[in-house]
Amino acid sequence: MHHFIIEWSEWNIADPAKVLGLMDHFDIYGDAALLGDKPVASPDDLRNLLVLCVACHRGAGLGILQVPVPFWFADLVKRDGAIVLKSVHAKEF
């Protein structure tokens, strides 16, 4: 699981109402619509979690925790043969 909108390391400076607004805007799984205006109590809120495989989450040079999100998305939708991200290891997880 990946914290999508807000990580624990930034939670103490976050405005929960603003976090909720982003969760409503980027409602990937439809959970924000189902939960409505229920307050966000922590980054572990269901609306803030993104399901990823290990390589996509923490993969060396390829995982969402290692690169800026726009580059991570670009790597997911690249044309065959195009290179956006390169692994820092020859063998992935």
Mind listing the pLDDT tens digit for each residue in 39-83?
A: 999 999 999 998 888 787 777 777 877 888 888 788 888 899 998
Domain boundaries, the chain: 1-51, 53-93
- Which position has the higher pLDDT, 50 or 11? 11
Q: How many CB atoms lie within 10 A of CB 58?
A: 15
How far, in Å, CA of 16 to CA of 1, rounded?
20
The confidence band for 93, taking pLDDT boundaries of 50, 70 and 90, is very low
The encoded tokens of residue 14 equal 């976050």
The encoded tokens of residue 22 equal 């982003």
The confidence band for 22, taking pLDDT boundaries of 50, 70 and 90, is very high
Helix (H) or strand (E) holding 3: strand 2-3
Q: How many CB atoms lie within 10 A of CB 14?
A: 15
| DSSP helix/strand/coil, 50 | strand
